[in-house]
Structure 1
Amino acid sequence: MANFSAADVKKLRELTGAGMMDCKKALDESEGDVEKAVELLRIKGQKGVAKREGRDASNGAVVSLIEGTSGVLVELNCETDFVAKGDRFVAVANELAAFVAKTSPADIDAALASEIEPGKTVQQFVDEANAGLGEKIVFRRFAQFNDGNYVNVYMHRTDPDLPPAIGVMVELDGENEDVAKGVAQHIAAFGPNFLSREEIPAEVLDNERRIAEATAREEGKPEAALPKIVEGRVTGFVKENAVLEQAYARDNKKTVQQVLNEAGVKLVRFVRFRVGA
Protein backbone atom coordinates (compact mmCIF):
# COMPACT_ATOMS: atom_id res chain seq x y z
CA MET A 1 0.00 0.00 0.00
CA ALA A 2 1.46 3.34 -1.07
CA ASN A 3 1.91 6.08 1.50
CA PHE A 4 -0.39 9.02 0.72
CA SER A 5 -2.69 11.26 2.72
CA ALA A 6 -6.28 12.42 2.47
CA ALA A 7 -4.85 15.77 1.39
CA ASP A 8 -3.17 14.04 -1.57
CA VAL A 9 -6.49 12.49 -2.60
CA LYS A 10 -8.20 15.88 -2.30
CA LYS A 11 -5.48 17.56 -4.37
CA LEU A 12 -5.73 14.89 -7.08
CA ARG A 13 -9.52 15.25 -7.21
CA GLU A 14 -9.19 19.01 -7.59
CA LEU A 15 -6.59 18.61 -10.35
CA THR A 16 -8.51 16.01 -12.35
CA GLY A 17 -12.14 16.02 -11.25
CA ALA A 18 -11.92 12.22 -10.95
CA GLY A 19 -13.84 10.23 -8.34
CA MET A 20 -12.41 9.52 -4.89
CA MET A 21 -11.88 5.77 -5.46
CA ASP A 22 -10.23 6.39 -8.84
CA CYS A 23 -7.87 8.89 -7.20
CA LYS A 24 -6.97 6.46 -4.43
CA LYS A 25 -6.25 3.69 -6.94
CA ALA A 26 -4.11 6.03 -9.05
CA LEU A 27 -2.11 7.16 -6.00
CA ASP A 28 -1.67 3.52 -4.98
CA GLU A 29 -0.39 2.66 -8.44
CA SER A 30 1.90 5.71 -8.59
CA GLU A 31 3.21 5.06 -5.06
CA GLY A 32 1.89 8.37 -3.83
CA ASP A 33 3.31 10.50 -6.65
CA VAL A 34 0.55 13.00 -7.49
CA GLU A 35 1.96 13.97 -10.90
CA LYS A 36 2.21 10.33 -12.00
CA ALA A 37 -1.29 9.75 -10.65
CA VAL A 38 -2.58 12.57 -12.87
CA GLU A 39 -1.01 10.87 -15.91
CA LEU A 40 -2.49 7.50 -14.95
CA LEU A 41 -5.96 8.99 -14.62
CA ARG A 42 -5.63 10.66 -18.01
CA ILE A 43 -4.58 7.38 -19.64
CA LYS A 44 -7.33 5.40 -17.96
CA GLY A 45 -9.77 8.18 -18.71
CA GLN A 46 -9.16 7.94 -22.45
CA LYS A 47 -9.84 4.20 -22.28
CA GLY A 48 -13.03 4.82 -20.34
CA VAL A 49 -14.63 7.36 -22.66
CA ALA A 50 -16.70 4.75 -24.51
CA LYS A 51 -17.84 3.18 -21.25
CA ARG A 52 -19.25 6.51 -20.09
CA GLU A 53 -21.40 7.06 -23.17
CA GLY A 54 -24.51 5.59 -21.57
CA ARG A 55 -24.27 7.62 -18.38
CA ASP A 56 -26.55 10.51 -17.53
CA ALA A 57 -24.95 13.96 -17.88
CA SER A 58 -27.60 16.12 -16.22
CA ASN A 59 -25.34 18.50 -14.29
CA GLY A 60 -23.13 21.16 -15.80
CA ALA A 61 -22.92 24.86 -16.53
CA VAL A 62 -24.20 27.59 -18.80
CA VAL A 63 -21.57 30.14 -19.84
CA SER A 64 -21.79 33.28 -21.94
CA LEU A 65 -19.53 35.47 -24.00
CA ILE A 66 -20.46 38.99 -25.11
CA GLU A 67 -18.19 40.86 -27.54
CA GLY A 68 -19.65 44.09 -28.82
CA THR A 69 -22.90 43.30 -30.62
CA SER A 70 -22.24 39.55 -30.68
CA GLY A 71 -23.29 37.16 -27.93
CA VAL A 72 -22.88 33.43 -27.31
CA LEU A 73 -24.54 31.12 -24.82
CA VAL A 74 -23.22 27.57 -24.29
CA GLU A 75 -24.46 24.64 -22.21
CA LEU A 76 -21.89 22.01 -21.23
CA ASN A 77 -23.04 18.97 -19.27
CA CYS A 78 -21.35 16.53 -16.91
CA GLU A 79 -22.45 13.84 -14.48
CA THR A 80 -21.84 15.41 -11.06
CA ASP A 81 -21.92 18.82 -9.45
CA PHE A 82 -18.40 18.16 -8.14
CA VAL A 83 -17.04 18.29 -11.68
CA ALA A 84 -19.41 21.11 -12.69
CA LYS A 85 -17.94 23.50 -10.13
CA GLY A 86 -14.34 22.71 -11.04
CA ASP A 87 -12.18 25.29 -12.78
CA ARG A 88 -11.18 22.86 -15.53
CA PHE A 89 -14.77 22.09 -16.48
CA VAL A 90 -15.75 25.76 -16.61
CA ALA A 91 -12.60 26.50 -18.63
CA VAL A 92 -13.67 23.90 -21.22
CA ALA A 93 -17.10 25.53 -21.46
CA ASN A 94 -15.53 28.96 -21.93
CA GLU A 95 -13.23 27.63 -24.67
CA LEU A 96 -16.25 26.26 -26.49
CA ALA A 97 -18.02 29.62 -26.20
CA ALA A 98 -14.97 31.37 -27.65
CA PHE A 99 -14.86 28.84 -30.50
CA VAL A 100 -18.53 29.46 -31.35
CA ALA A 101 -18.00 33.23 -31.24
CA LYS A 102 -15.06 32.94 -33.64
CA THR A 103 -16.47 30.42 -36.14
CA SER A 104 -20.29 30.80 -36.01
CA PRO A 105 -21.12 27.12 -36.71
CA ALA A 106 -24.53 26.40 -38.22
CA ASP A 107 -25.63 23.98 -35.50
CA ILE A 108 -24.30 21.67 -32.80
CA ASP A 109 -23.41 18.89 -35.28
CA ALA A 110 -21.43 21.32 -37.41
CA ALA A 111 -19.71 22.65 -34.29
CA LEU A 112 -18.67 19.17 -33.08
CA ALA A 113 -17.27 18.29 -36.52
CA SER A 114 -15.28 21.54 -36.84
CA GLU A 115 -11.61 21.85 -35.90
CA ILE A 116 -11.02 23.76 -32.68
CA GLU A 117 -7.28 23.56 -33.36
CA PRO A 118 -5.27 22.02 -36.21
CA GLY A 119 -5.98 18.30 -36.41
CA LYS A 120 -8.46 18.27 -33.52
CA THR A 121 -12.24 18.50 -33.82
CA VAL A 122 -14.47 19.93 -31.15
CA GLN A 123 -15.75 16.40 -30.49
CA GLN A 124 -12.18 15.22 -29.88
CA PHE A 125 -11.61 18.23 -27.63
CA VAL A 126 -14.71 17.26 -25.61
CA ASP A 127 -13.56 13.63 -25.49
CA GLU A 128 -10.25 14.77 -24.04
CA ALA A 129 -12.15 16.66 -21.36
CA ASN A 130 -14.21 13.52 -20.81
CA ALA A 131 -11.02 11.56 -20.25
CA GLY A 132 -9.26 14.15 -18.14
CA LEU A 133 -12.22 14.80 -15.84
CA GLY A 134 -13.26 11.16 -15.57
CA GLU A 135 -16.91 11.80 -16.39
CA LYS A 136 -19.16 11.92 -19.41
CA ILE A 137 -18.92 15.47 -20.80
CA VAL A 138 -21.45 16.65 -23.37
CA PHE A 139 -21.43 19.84 -25.42
CA ARG A 140 -25.21 19.97 -25.51
CA ARG A 141 -26.13 23.21 -27.27
CA PHE A 142 -25.24 26.79 -28.06
CA ALA A 143 -26.90 29.96 -29.30
CA GLN A 144 -25.35 32.92 -31.06
CA PHE A 145 -26.75 36.39 -31.74
CA ASN A 146 -24.58 38.41 -34.13
CA ASP A 147 -26.89 40.52 -36.30
CA GLY A 148 -25.48 43.84 -35.10
CA ASN A 149 -28.16 44.60 -32.50
CA TYR A 150 -27.67 45.18 -28.78
CA VAL A 151 -27.09 41.90 -26.91
CA ASN A 152 -26.94 41.22 -23.19
CA VAL A 153 -27.19 38.25 -20.82
CA TYR A 154 -28.33 37.30 -17.36
CA MET A 155 -26.70 34.30 -15.67
CA HIS A 156 -28.41 32.74 -12.66
CA ARG A 157 -26.90 30.42 -10.06
CA THR A 158 -29.38 28.05 -8.44
CA ASP A 159 -26.62 27.12 -5.97
CA PRO A 160 -23.99 29.67 -4.88
CA ASP A 161 -21.29 26.97 -4.92
CA LEU A 162 -21.98 25.98 -8.53
CA PRO A 163 -21.61 27.78 -11.87
CA PRO A 164 -24.72 29.32 -13.46
CA ALA A 165 -27.40 26.75 -14.23
CA ILE A 166 -29.67 29.18 -16.09
CA GLY A 167 -28.55 31.55 -18.80
CA VAL A 168 -30.69 34.00 -20.77
CA MET A 169 -29.51 36.03 -23.76
CA VAL A 170 -31.64 38.82 -25.17
CA GLU A 171 -31.35 40.93 -28.30
CA LEU A 172 -32.83 44.44 -28.44
CA ASP A 173 -33.04 46.74 -31.45
CA GLY A 174 -31.45 49.52 -29.37
CA GLU A 175 -29.03 49.74 -26.47
CA ASN A 176 -30.62 49.79 -23.02
CA GLU A 177 -28.71 47.82 -20.41
CA ASP A 178 -31.24 48.18 -17.61
CA VAL A 179 -34.18 46.99 -19.72
CA ALA A 180 -32.12 44.18 -21.24
CA LYS A 181 -31.05 42.93 -17.81
CA GLY A 182 -34.55 43.27 -16.40
CA VAL A 183 -36.19 41.39 -19.26
CA ALA A 184 -33.49 38.70 -19.16
CA GLN A 185 -34.07 38.23 -15.42
CA HIS A 186 -37.80 38.03 -16.07
CA ILE A 187 -37.26 35.33 -18.70
CA ALA A 188 -34.95 33.41 -16.36
CA ALA A 189 -37.63 33.38 -13.68
CA PHE A 190 -40.74 32.70 -15.78
CA GLY A 191 -39.35 30.58 -18.60
CA PRO A 192 -41.56 31.70 -21.52
CA ASN A 193 -41.43 29.54 -24.63
CA PHE A 194 -42.27 32.18 -27.24
CA LEU A 195 -41.65 35.85 -27.95
CA SER A 196 -45.22 36.82 -28.86
CA ARG A 197 -48.64 35.37 -29.60
CA GLU A 198 -47.85 35.56 -33.32
CA GLU A 199 -44.88 33.22 -32.85
CA ILE A 200 -46.93 30.46 -31.22
CA PRO A 201 -47.65 27.83 -33.92
CA ALA A 202 -51.30 27.63 -34.98
CA GLU A 203 -51.42 23.92 -34.18
CA VAL A 204 -50.35 24.64 -30.60
CA LEU A 205 -53.16 27.16 -30.14
CA ASP A 206 -55.67 24.83 -31.82
CA ASN A 207 -54.68 22.06 -29.42
CA GLU A 208 -55.12 24.39 -26.46
CA ARG A 209 -58.59 25.27 -27.72
CA ARG A 210 -59.52 21.59 -27.94
CA ILE A 211 -58.26 20.98 -24.42
CA ALA A 212 -60.03 24.07 -23.08
CA GLU A 213 -63.32 23.07 -24.71
CA ALA A 214 -63.11 19.48 -23.49
CA THR A 215 -62.28 20.68 -19.99
CA ALA A 216 -65.16 23.17 -19.96
CA ARG A 217 -67.61 20.47 -21.10
CA GLU A 218 -66.28 18.11 -18.43
CA GLU A 219 -66.89 20.85 -15.88
CA GLY A 220 -70.49 21.16 -17.07
CA LYS A 221 -70.23 24.71 -18.37
CA PRO A 222 -73.24 26.00 -20.37
CA GLU A 223 -72.99 25.40 -24.11
CA ALA A 224 -73.64 29.05 -24.90
CA ALA A 225 -70.74 30.11 -22.69
CA LEU A 226 -68.19 27.73 -24.22
CA PRO A 227 -66.74 30.04 -26.91
CA LYS A 228 -66.01 32.80 -24.38
CA ILE A 229 -64.61 30.35 -21.81
CA VAL A 230 -62.39 28.64 -24.41
CA GLU A 231 -60.94 31.89 -25.73
CA GLY A 232 -60.36 33.11 -22.18
CA ARG A 233 -58.35 30.01 -21.39
CA VAL A 234 -56.39 30.24 -24.62
CA THR A 235 -55.58 33.85 -23.77
CA GLY A 236 -54.36 32.64 -20.38
CA PHE A 237 -52.14 30.10 -22.10
CA VAL A 238 -50.67 32.82 -24.32
CA LYS A 239 -49.93 35.03 -21.31
CA GLU A 240 -48.13 32.14 -19.65
CA ASN A 241 -46.01 31.32 -22.68
CA ALA A 242 -45.43 34.51 -24.71
CA VAL A 243 -42.99 36.82 -22.94
CA LEU A 244 -44.35 40.07 -24.39
CA GLU A 245 -47.77 39.40 -22.86
CA GLN A 246 -46.54 38.38 -19.43
CA ALA A 247 -46.79 40.61 -16.37
CA TYR A 248 -43.31 42.08 -15.88
CA ALA A 249 -41.41 40.60 -12.94
CA ARG A 250 -40.26 44.00 -11.63
CA ASP A 251 -43.70 45.63 -11.97
CA ASN A 252 -46.65 43.26 -12.39
CA LYS A 253 -48.97 46.14 -13.26
CA LYS A 254 -47.25 46.33 -16.65
CA THR A 255 -46.64 43.74 -19.33
CA VAL A 256 -43.16 43.15 -20.72
CA GLN A 257 -44.38 44.75 -23.96
CA GLN A 258 -45.40 47.91 -22.11
CA VAL A 259 -42.01 48.14 -20.41
CA LEU A 260 -40.26 47.84 -23.76
CA ASN A 261 -42.58 50.42 -25.34
CA GLU A 262 -41.88 52.92 -22.56
CA ALA A 263 -38.15 52.42 -23.08
CA GLY A 264 -38.48 52.79 -26.85
CA VAL A 265 -36.86 49.45 -27.66
CA LYS A 266 -38.00 46.18 -29.18
CA LEU A 267 -37.16 42.68 -27.98
CA VAL A 268 -36.00 41.02 -31.20
CA ARG A 269 -35.41 37.54 -29.77
CA PHE A 270 -34.23 35.64 -26.72
CA VAL A 271 -32.85 32.27 -25.73
CA ARG A 272 -32.99 30.57 -22.33
CA PHE A 273 -30.86 27.59 -21.32
CA ARG A 274 -31.36 25.66 -18.10
CA VAL A 275 -28.88 22.89 -17.36
CA GLY A 276 -30.42 19.51 -18.05
CA ALA A 277 -33.84 20.93 -19.06
Structure 2
Amino acid sequence: MGLHVANYTAADIKALRERTGAGMMDVKKALDEADGNAEKAMELIRIKGLKGATKREGRSTSEGLIAAKVIDGTVGVMIELSCETDFVAKNEKFIALANQVLEVAVSSAAADLETLLAVDVEGKALADVVTEEGAVLGEKVIVRRMSRVEGATVDAYLHKTSKDLPAQVGVLFAVDGDGDGAFTVAHDVAVHIAAMSPSVLGRDGIAAETVENERRIAMETAVAEGKPEAALPKIVEGRLTGFFKESVLVDQAFAKDAKKSVGAVLEEAGVKATAFARFRVGA
Protein backbone atom coordinates (compact mmCIF):
# COMPACT_ATOMS: atom_id res chain seq x y z
CA MET A 1 0.00 0.00 0.00
CA GLY A 2 1.25 3.45 -0.90
CA LEU A 3 1.38 6.25 1.62
CA HIS A 4 -1.98 7.86 2.07
CA VAL A 5 -1.68 11.61 2.17
CA ALA A 6 -4.38 13.03 4.41
CA ASN A 7 -6.36 15.69 2.60
CA TYR A 8 -7.36 17.65 5.68
CA THR A 9 -5.56 19.97 8.07
CA ALA A 10 -5.07 20.29 11.81
CA ALA A 11 -7.62 23.11 11.66
CA ASP A 12 -10.17 20.68 10.17
CA ILE A 13 -9.56 18.27 13.04
CA LYS A 14 -9.97 21.04 15.60
CA ALA A 15 -13.18 22.31 13.98
CA LEU A 16 -14.71 18.84 13.89
CA ARG A 17 -13.71 18.14 17.48
CA GLU A 18 -15.43 21.35 18.56
CA ARG A 19 -18.57 20.45 16.63
CA THR A 20 -18.81 16.89 17.91
CA GLY A 21 -16.95 16.72 21.22
CA ALA A 22 -15.39 13.46 19.93
CA GLY A 23 -11.79 12.45 20.61
CA MET A 24 -8.78 13.25 18.41
CA MET A 25 -8.33 9.68 17.15
CA ASP A 26 -12.03 9.27 16.38
CA VAL A 27 -12.08 12.54 14.43
CA LYS A 28 -8.93 11.64 12.44
CA LYS A 29 -10.34 8.20 11.66
CA ALA A 30 -13.62 9.70 10.47
CA LEU A 31 -11.82 12.27 8.30
CA ASP A 32 -9.64 9.52 6.80
CA GLU A 33 -12.71 7.46 6.01
CA ALA A 34 -14.52 10.49 4.57
CA ASP A 35 -11.48 11.61 2.49
CA GLY A 36 -11.41 14.92 4.30
CA ASN A 37 -15.10 15.73 3.73
CA ALA A 38 -16.11 17.35 7.02
CA GLU A 39 -19.87 16.78 6.62
CA LYS A 40 -19.40 13.10 5.83
CA ALA A 41 -16.93 12.74 8.72
CA MET A 42 -19.47 14.39 11.03
CA GLU A 43 -22.06 11.84 9.93
CA LEU A 44 -19.62 8.96 10.52
CA ILE A 45 -18.92 10.23 14.02
CA ARG A 46 -22.62 10.45 14.79
CA ILE A 47 -23.27 6.98 13.42
CA LYS A 48 -20.55 5.55 15.61
CA GLY A 49 -22.16 7.17 18.62
CA LEU A 50 -18.93 8.99 19.43
CA LYS A 51 -20.50 12.41 19.54
CA GLY A 52 -19.31 13.97 22.76
CA ALA A 53 -18.41 10.55 24.09
CA THR A 54 -14.65 10.85 24.70
CA LYS A 55 -14.88 13.16 27.62
CA ARG A 56 -17.60 10.98 29.11
CA GLU A 57 -16.69 7.44 28.09
CA GLY A 58 -15.08 6.36 31.33
CA ARG A 59 -17.38 8.27 33.61
CA SER A 60 -19.71 6.46 35.92
CA THR A 61 -23.45 6.84 35.47
CA SER A 62 -24.72 6.19 38.97
CA GLU A 63 -27.39 8.90 39.07
CA GLY A 64 -30.60 9.12 37.07
CA LEU A 65 -34.26 8.24 37.34
CA ILE A 66 -36.78 5.45 36.92
CA ALA A 67 -39.87 5.92 34.75
CA ALA A 68 -42.73 3.45 34.38
CA LYS A 69 -46.14 3.14 32.77
CA VAL A 70 -48.96 0.59 32.77
CA ILE A 71 -51.02 0.04 29.62
CA ASP A 72 -54.64 -1.16 30.02
CA GLY A 73 -53.85 -2.37 33.53
CA THR A 74 -52.16 -5.47 32.10
CA VAL A 75 -48.75 -4.48 30.68
CA GLY A 76 -46.13 -2.60 32.66
CA VAL A 77 -43.03 -1.03 31.12
CA MET A 78 -40.18 0.46 33.16
CA ILE A 79 -36.86 2.06 32.23
CA GLU A 80 -33.82 3.42 34.05
CA LEU A 81 -32.14 6.43 32.46
CA SER A 82 -28.71 7.09 33.92
CA CYS A 83 -26.54 10.17 34.08
CA GLU A 84 -23.53 11.26 36.12
CA THR A 85 -24.88 13.83 38.59
CA ASP A 86 -28.13 14.44 40.44
CA PHE A 87 -27.94 17.98 39.03
CA VAL A 88 -28.69 16.56 35.57
CA ALA A 89 -31.12 13.94 36.96
CA LYS A 90 -33.52 16.72 37.94
CA ASN A 91 -32.99 18.73 34.73
CA GLU A 92 -36.23 19.13 32.73
CA LYS A 93 -34.51 18.05 29.50
CA PHE A 94 -33.31 14.83 31.14
CA ILE A 95 -36.76 14.09 32.56
CA ALA A 96 -38.32 14.77 29.13
CA LEU A 97 -35.78 12.39 27.55
CA ALA A 98 -36.69 9.67 30.08
CA ASN A 99 -40.37 10.10 29.19
CA GLN A 100 -39.51 9.90 25.48
CA VAL A 101 -37.54 6.67 26.05
CA LEU A 102 -40.46 5.26 28.05
CA GLU A 103 -42.94 6.16 25.29
CA VAL A 104 -40.73 4.46 22.69
CA ALA A 105 -40.52 1.39 24.94
CA VAL A 106 -44.32 1.34 25.19
CA SER A 107 -45.14 2.01 21.53
CA SER A 108 -42.48 -0.32 20.11
CA ALA A 109 -43.39 -3.17 22.52
CA ALA A 110 -39.63 -3.89 22.71
CA ALA A 111 -38.99 -6.93 24.89
CA ASP A 112 -35.39 -6.13 25.81
CA LEU A 113 -32.90 -3.27 26.03
CA GLU A 114 -31.02 -4.12 22.82
CA THR A 115 -34.24 -4.06 20.77
CA LEU A 116 -35.33 -0.82 22.44
CA LEU A 117 -32.05 0.99 21.70
CA ALA A 118 -32.28 0.02 18.03
CA VAL A 119 -35.82 1.42 17.56
CA ASP A 120 -36.00 4.08 14.86
CA VAL A 121 -36.97 7.51 16.20
CA GLU A 122 -37.45 9.90 13.28
CA GLY A 123 -34.63 8.33 11.29
CA LYS A 124 -32.22 7.74 14.18
CA ALA A 125 -31.71 4.80 16.51
CA LEU A 126 -32.98 5.59 20.02
CA ALA A 127 -29.45 4.95 21.34
CA ASP A 128 -28.17 7.85 19.18
CA VAL A 129 -30.98 10.15 20.31
CA VAL A 130 -29.95 9.46 23.93
CA THR A 131 -26.22 9.97 23.20
CA GLU A 132 -26.94 13.28 21.47
CA GLU A 133 -29.13 14.53 24.32
CA GLY A 134 -26.30 13.58 26.66
CA ALA A 135 -23.94 15.71 24.57
CA VAL A 136 -26.32 18.66 25.01
CA LEU A 137 -26.52 18.05 28.76
CA GLY A 138 -22.73 17.61 28.92
CA GLU A 139 -22.89 14.22 30.62
CA LYS A 140 -22.74 10.57 29.69
CA VAL A 141 -26.40 9.52 29.48
CA ILE A 142 -27.46 5.91 28.90
CA VAL A 143 -30.59 3.81 29.05
CA ARG A 144 -29.33 1.37 31.65
CA ARG A 145 -32.13 -1.19 31.58
CA MET A 146 -35.75 -1.81 30.81
CA SER A 147 -38.34 -4.29 31.95
CA ARG A 148 -41.69 -5.38 30.60
CA VAL A 149 -44.11 -7.21 32.89
CA GLU A 150 -47.45 -8.62 31.76
CA GLY A 151 -50.30 -10.11 33.78
CA ALA A 152 -54.03 -10.06 34.50
CA THR A 153 -53.41 -7.01 36.72
CA VAL A 154 -50.17 -5.02 36.71
CA ASP A 155 -49.32 -2.13 39.01
CA ALA A 156 -46.41 0.31 38.70
CA TYR A 157 -45.12 2.12 41.75
CA LEU A 158 -42.49 4.87 41.67
CA HIS A 159 -40.81 6.02 44.86
CA LYS A 160 -38.89 9.21 45.51
CA THR A 161 -36.04 8.79 47.98
CA SER A 162 -35.51 12.57 47.97
CA LYS A 163 -38.19 15.19 47.47
CA ASP A 164 -36.13 17.28 45.05
CA LEU A 165 -35.18 14.39 42.75
CA PRO A 166 -37.31 12.34 40.34
CA ALA A 167 -38.19 8.73 41.29
CA GLN A 168 -35.15 6.66 42.30
CA VAL A 169 -36.97 3.37 42.86
CA GLY A 170 -39.50 1.74 40.56
CA VAL A 171 -41.54 -1.46 40.73
CA LEU A 172 -43.75 -3.39 38.32
CA PHE A 173 -45.84 -6.14 39.91
CA ALA A 174 -48.30 -8.58 38.34
CA VAL A 175 -50.98 -10.85 39.81
CA ASP A 176 -53.21 -13.44 38.15
CA GLY A 177 -56.61 -11.92 39.03
CA ASP A 178 -58.44 -8.74 38.14
CA GLY A 179 -60.98 -6.36 39.67
CA ASP A 180 -60.67 -3.79 42.45
CA GLY A 181 -59.43 -6.27 45.06
CA ALA A 182 -56.67 -7.51 42.80
CA PHE A 183 -55.60 -3.96 41.96
CA THR A 184 -55.55 -2.87 45.62
CA VAL A 185 -53.43 -5.82 46.76
CA ALA A 186 -51.16 -5.48 43.70
CA HIS A 187 -50.52 -1.85 44.61
CA ASP A 188 -49.87 -2.64 48.29
CA VAL A 189 -47.39 -5.37 47.36
CA ALA A 190 -45.69 -3.10 44.77
CA VAL A 191 -45.09 -0.57 47.58
CA HIS A 192 -43.80 -3.43 49.76
CA ILE A 193 -41.36 -4.53 47.01
CA ALA A 194 -40.01 -0.97 46.73
CA ALA A 195 -39.29 -0.93 50.48
CA MET A 196 -38.20 -4.54 51.11
CA SER A 197 -36.22 -5.29 47.94
CA PRO A 198 -36.88 -9.02 47.41
CA SER A 199 -34.65 -10.69 44.83
CA VAL A 200 -37.00 -13.44 43.61
CA LEU A 201 -40.74 -14.13 43.41
CA GLY A 202 -40.82 -17.64 44.90
CA ARG A 203 -38.39 -20.12 46.44
CA ASP A 204 -37.96 -21.86 43.08
CA GLY A 205 -36.28 -18.66 41.87
CA ILE A 206 -33.25 -19.44 44.04
CA ALA A 207 -30.70 -21.87 42.58
CA ALA A 208 -30.65 -25.28 44.26
CA GLU A 209 -26.91 -24.98 44.94
CA THR A 210 -27.47 -21.67 46.75
CA VAL A 211 -30.06 -23.33 49.01
CA GLU A 212 -27.74 -26.29 49.63
CA ASN A 213 -24.92 -23.92 50.49
CA GLU A 214 -27.13 -22.03 52.98
CA ARG A 215 -28.22 -25.34 54.50
CA ARG A 216 -24.58 -26.46 54.88
CA ILE A 217 -23.58 -23.15 56.53
CA ALA A 218 -26.57 -23.36 58.90
CA MET A 219 -25.63 -26.94 59.83
CA GLU A 220 -21.94 -26.12 60.39
CA THR A 221 -22.84 -23.05 62.46
CA ALA A 222 -25.29 -25.01 64.64
CA VAL A 223 -22.71 -27.79 65.20
CA ALA A 224 -20.02 -25.21 66.05
CA GLU A 225 -22.43 -23.65 68.57
CA GLY A 226 -22.68 -27.04 70.25
CA LYS A 227 -26.43 -27.48 69.62
CA PRO A 228 -27.75 -30.96 70.51
CA GLU A 229 -27.80 -33.35 67.55
CA ALA A 230 -31.50 -34.10 67.83
CA ALA A 231 -32.34 -30.41 67.46
CA LEU A 232 -30.12 -29.81 64.40
CA PRO A 233 -32.67 -30.50 61.60
CA LYS A 234 -35.19 -28.10 63.15
CA ILE A 235 -32.56 -25.41 63.72
CA VAL A 236 -31.28 -25.74 60.15
CA GLU A 237 -34.81 -25.49 58.69
CA GLY A 238 -35.48 -22.45 60.88
CA ARG A 239 -32.37 -20.72 59.58
CA LEU A 240 -33.24 -21.60 55.97
CA THR A 241 -36.69 -20.09 56.49
CA GLY A 242 -34.95 -16.93 57.71
CA PHE A 243 -32.83 -16.91 54.56
CA PHE A 244 -35.95 -17.25 52.37
CA LYS A 245 -37.71 -14.47 54.29
CA GLU A 246 -34.92 -12.10 53.28
CA SER A 247 -34.96 -12.64 49.54
CA VAL A 248 -38.19 -14.40 48.48
CA LEU A 249 -41.12 -12.03 47.94
CA VAL A 250 -43.94 -14.36 49.03
CA ASP A 251 -42.01 -15.38 52.18
CA GLN A 252 -41.27 -11.82 53.32
CA ALA A 253 -43.18 -10.32 56.24
CA PHE A 254 -45.68 -7.90 54.68
CA ALA A 255 -44.60 -4.28 55.19
CA LYS A 256 -48.10 -3.11 56.20
CA ASP A 257 -48.72 -6.02 58.60
CA ALA A 258 -45.59 -7.90 59.67
CA LYS A 259 -47.66 -10.71 61.25
CA LYS A 260 -48.55 -11.94 57.75
CA SER A 261 -46.36 -13.02 54.85
CA VAL A 262 -46.81 -11.40 51.42
CA GLY A 263 -47.96 -14.82 50.17
CA ALA A 264 -50.71 -14.96 52.81
CA VAL A 265 -51.88 -11.42 51.98
CA LEU A 266 -52.15 -12.33 48.29
CA GLU A 267 -53.96 -15.56 49.13
CA GLU A 268 -56.53 -13.66 51.21
CA ALA A 269 -57.18 -11.47 48.18
CA GLY A 270 -57.62 -14.59 46.04
CA VAL A 271 -54.66 -13.92 43.72
CA LYS A 272 -51.14 -15.21 43.10
CA ALA A 273 -48.05 -13.17 42.28
CA THR A 274 -46.91 -13.91 38.73
CA ALA A 275 -44.02 -11.49 38.07
CA PHE A 276 -42.20 -8.43 39.37
CA ALA A 277 -39.34 -6.12 38.50
CA ARG A 278 -37.63 -3.67 40.84
CA PHE A 279 -35.12 -1.01 39.77
CA ARG A 280 -33.17 1.29 42.01
CA VAL A 281 -31.07 3.98 40.35
CA GLY A 282 -27.42 2.91 40.15
CA ALA A 283 -27.99 -0.40 41.95
CA distance in 2, matches of 1:150, 1:163: 25
Shift of 1:47: 4.9
CA distance in 1, matches of 2:269, 2:277: 21
Where do 1:1-277 residues align within 5 Å? 44=21, 47-68=51-72, 69-118=74-123, 120-147=124-151, 149-175=152-178, 176-277=182-283
CA distance in 2, matches of 1:76, 1:44: 22
Shift of 1:131: 0.3
CA distance in 1, matches of 2:159, 2:252: 20
Structure (1 or 2) with the larger CA radius of gyration: 2
Which deviates more, 44-53 or 55-64?
44-53
CA distance in 2, matches of 1:169, 1:182: 12
Q: TM-score, normalised by structure 2?
A: 0.78
Shift of 1:48: 2.9
CA distance in 2, matches of 1:271, 1:67: 16
Maintained 8 Å contact 1:193/1:242: yes
Q: Percent identity?
A: 49
Return the letter of the residue paired with 1:64.
Answer: A
Structure 1: segments with no counterpart, 5+ residues: 1-40
What stretches of structure 1 move > 6 A for 4+ residues in a row? none
Maintained 8 Å contact 2:154/2:173: yes
CA distance in 2, matches of 1:48, 1:92: 17
Structure 2: segments with no counterpart, 5+ residues: 1-17, 23-49
Return the letter of the residue paired with 2:227.
Answer: K
Q: TM-score, normalised by structure 1?
A: 0.79
Structure 2 SS opposite 1:177: helix
Shift of 1:241: 1.1
RMSD: 2.0
Structure 2 SS opposite 1:56: coil
Return the letter of the residue paired with 2:175.
Answer: L
Maintained 8 Å contact 2:64/2:83: yes
Structure 1 SS opposite 2:166: coil
